[in-house]
Structure 1
Amino acid sequence: MVMTAPKRSDQHAPAEEQPTPRTPREFFESLPPTFSLRAEIIDGNLRMSPSGPLQHARTARRLSRALIPVEDKNDWESFSGDVDVFIEGPRDTLVPDYCLAPVNAPLWGDRELLSSALIMVAEIVSTGSMETDRATKPRIYAEGGIPIMLIIDPIASPPTITVLSDPEKGTYRAMSHTQLGKPVRLPSPVDFDLDLDTSTFL
């Protein structure tokens, strides 16, 4: 015997139901764009954190402006704290404070840049992100094959900028630490013709 449900008026029809997220990845993909919170998947766990302070945005903007000649020369573009990066391998999603990528870099889905397509990322350390920015994210970015990572650390004593490069098996094999205020040379594939003036990050 076939049973049919009674017809309901279209006026009272329920909205189309969405499946309940079961994993951090599904929950992340169901989130609407958030302008005051940053949603990331780190080591398989969904983390929500406030957007960085004004100094984060200012430093990221100054880094972006310094690298405009590199962007123009190579047909690259940059993003400052407003793009999701899908980390191939661990399937995490990070939101770097700064990201350098080819124009029209490939996406995972419709909102995340693929890590394998990126040129460089940068994180700006704050009191609430010290462990994540200094240790956790470098490992994840290396796992994703991103050639260069910068760690701009204005709260270190003394303030420093760390350049990580040559990723292999979840670690960056090349590392250099420079006190903020001194010039830094960025390695391949950026190959910045001039030393990067880090005094603007203080």
Structure 2
Amino acid sequence: MTVSGIDRLHSQLSRFEDMFPGYRMEIVEGNIMMSPVKPHHAETIRQVWNMLAAQVGADWGFTSDVAFPFDGDNEFCPDLAVIPAPEVEKNEGAYSPDLIELVVEVVSQGSIRRDYEVKPRWYASRGIANYLVLDPLKGHVVTMWNPGSDGYRGRDTIPYGPDLTVDSPLGKLTLATGRLPVDPKARAGS
């Protein structure tokens, strides 16, 4: 896709975001993707942000739903990305994915394939050390590490409940998963 093509998509994305409040928009594989956001989605982000903020130093900051252009066909807006604090302070609308030390996505019904299949390849290809997929639909977290050019070589799926410790370049980070929200439909199906 050409630069003018990505600019056109980005312009359309901005328009759609205004037209469809309550939806999260990204450019994935050259297409504008919309996912409805539910309260469990936002609550998961809030809890994880608070837990991580209490553990990382002042040198690190957080972004949520801010664009990270990977190439002409992929501009992801991670639910949560940890990047250097001076970069966050610039208050930009887009940042280089090379700044991300840890990335978190929260699964919604419309993002399953993107969060589990598409994004791991892209995040790993840029050397992002840790990728966490929190899934309120299934009540588990998938932690990925050891990035390579074709994806993450390490991957564990842990049901919500016990604390999760992530060995990251930011240090050992602990997430209390026992109180993370789970979709009531997921509980009924288990």
Shorter-chain TM-score range? 0.7 to 0.9
Give yes or no for contact 1:121–1:148 (8 Å, CA) kept in 2: yes
Distance 1:60 1:143 in 2: 24
SS across alignment from 1:104: helix
SS across alignment from 2:166: coil
Report matched runs for 1:27-38 at 5 Å. 27-31=8-12, 32=14, 34=17, 36=21, 37-38=23-24
Structure of higher CA gyration radius:
1
Q: CA deviation at 1:169?
A: 0.5
Residue 164 of structure 1 corresponds to which residue in structure 2?
Answer: 144
Distance 1:95 1:38 in 2: 9
Give yes or no for contact 1:39–1:46 (8 Å, CA) kept in 2: no
Residue 173 of structure 1 corresponds to which residue in structure 2?
Answer: 153
Residue 7 of structure 2 is aligned with which of 26, 29, 32?
Answer: 26
Residue 103 of structure 2 corresponds to which residue in structure 1?
Answer: 121
Give yes or no for contact 1:115–1:145 (8 Å, CA) kept in 2: no
Give yes or no for contact 2:124–2:150 (8 Å, CA) kept in 1: yes
Give the aligned length: 171
Q: Which has the higher helix share?
A: 2
Q: CA deviation at 1:84?
A: 0.8
- Residue type of the alignment partner of 1:65: N
- Residue type of the alignment partner of 2:63: F
Distance 1:116 1:186 in 2: 20
Q: CA deviation at 1:119?
A: 1.0
The answer to whether the aligner puts 1:84 opposite 2:67 as a matched pair is yes
Distance 2:73 2:113 in 1: 20
Distance 1:114 1:170 in 2: 20
Q: Deviations over 1:68-120 (max 9, x none)?
A: 1233x25111123x311122x676210111111111339xxx52111111111
Structure 1 alignment gaps of length 5 or more: 1-20
Percent of aligned pairs sharing the same letter: 25
Distance 1:97 1:62 in 2: 12
When normalised by structure 1's length, the TM-score is: 0.75
Residue 122 of structure 2 corresponds to which residue in structure 1?
Answer: 140
Distance 2:149 2:47 in 1: 31
- Residue type of the alignment partner of 2:60: W
Distance 2:36 2:105 in 1: 13
Distance 1:149 1:91 in 2: 21
Give yes or no for contact 2:83–2:99 (8 Å, CA) kept in 1: yes
Give yes or no for contact 2:134–2:141 (8 Å, CA) kept in 1: yes
Distance 2:72 2:178 in 1: 35
The answer to whether the aligner puts 1:198 opposite 2:183 as a matched pair is no
Distance 2:80 2:36 in 1: 13
The answer to whether the aligner puts 1:75 opposite 2:54 as a matched pair is no
Residue 47 of structure 1 corresponds to which residue in structure 2?
Answer: 32
SS across alignment from 1:176: strand
Note closer, same or farther for the CA distance 1:91–1:167 as it changes in structure 2 (3 Å cut). Answer: farther
Two-structure CA RMSD over aligned residues (Å): 2.3
